[in-house]
Structure 1
Amino acid sequence: MADPDIDAETVGDAWLAIARSILRSGAPSRYDGLPILELENVAIRVRAPRSRDRIVDELGDPSRLAWMHANFTDFARVPALGDARSYASRLYAYGGTERDQVRWVIDRLRADPATRSATITTFEPLLDSSYIPCVSLLDFWIRDGALCQVVYAHSIDFGAKGYGNLVELAFLQETVAESLALPVGDLLFLVKSAHVYDTELAEMRRVIAAPALSA
């Protein structure tokens, strides 16, 4: 594939790199009626995704990380998203059924390590009437003996939530890799709208300028 727009070692490196790019080159736009700076059709590669990340631990908001972790692990509906079904319920009980998509991916890759169709979705068209999940497609494959992941999102807020998305996607990748007794490979994150809300611009400039990052 062509070189990604962001090529980073860790999820923390990726978060700061895309945030810098948005602040430097993003175009003014609006999302849900709110002003943003936006980059379109961004490819972010993380070469060594890990769910525990020094940069995220140091600079991320613990409450936002906890909220995102609950979204990926708790089956309860999400009040902040209009009582939409959580990512956990979509991944592990798709469509309100007992269909565990993550287990299906593991079984599919175990049965055929060369498969290119271990692909699952969080989009539930028969249930999603207003909220459309930002992360909608997750594709797993084994390359060079490692478990890799390709993810598509229609939009990601890299001010308040993007680092949490990266952490939880890395955690999911670790889970699948561990079940297959494989090392974790790279994570490719394809984002149609990578943005920062205007209300977060000052905070993101502060985060990027943090002295500890230059150490």
Structure 2
Amino acid sequence: MTGGEQVTQKILKQEASADQATFTALVHWNDAAKAAFIIEERTFVVRRAAGGTLIDFSSTLSAPRGEVKLNGDPEHAGIHYRPAGELDKSKTRYHFPVEKPAPHKDTDYPWVGETYTLDGTAYSVVEMSHVQNPTGTRWSAYRDYGRFGAFPVAEIKQGGSLTFRYRFLIVKGELPGAETINSLYSQFAGGNAPASKVTTLPAEGSKPAAAKKTDAKK
């Protein structure tokens, strides 16, 4: 799709207490003619946990006009976290809950973590994918400027709906241990702890710009 936009229509819910804050927004995904082909209810719940900030994100998408296929590419579609652009690209690392990760090929990681450095301080983020999200989900988790996240592909029938759920843990410092992450994941998604082995890989550097061809004069 080209020429589309996401437009927030109104805030459906907004609450805050001493322990947490939450809001739900009604968002229309419009086509080039500014007609909504997806209607979304997008909810954030934010609270303190595990020495950092915990964000539970859910998105319910409905297709009022016809069947919709959610697709694209892992770098530019999906549910992503992106840190400030001033980070130190040379220090970005990614953490995977498997022994031999192949992030360009693997699918359905239960979670992926990242550590980046901003103004000399390290920060770590874990994104967790709920077990009820679509299977076959790919992850973009290798770029040195820190944007990473899950990329689910799915179809929504006309009149139907689909809900996606993700949890983010954001802490100052190094990545929490696997036991902490697994506990938060199990509380969020249910089931057994997803990983006992965590593998850390350095981020991939940016691709150099292609050399420009010039005509040599004789």
Both structures adopt the same fold (TM-score exceeding 0.5): no
| Greater share of residues in helix | 1
Larger Cα-atom Rg? 2
Alignment TM class, shorter chain as reference: under 0.3
| Greater share of residues in strand | 2
TM-score (structure 1 length as normaliser): 0.27
TM-score (structure 2 length as normaliser): 0.27
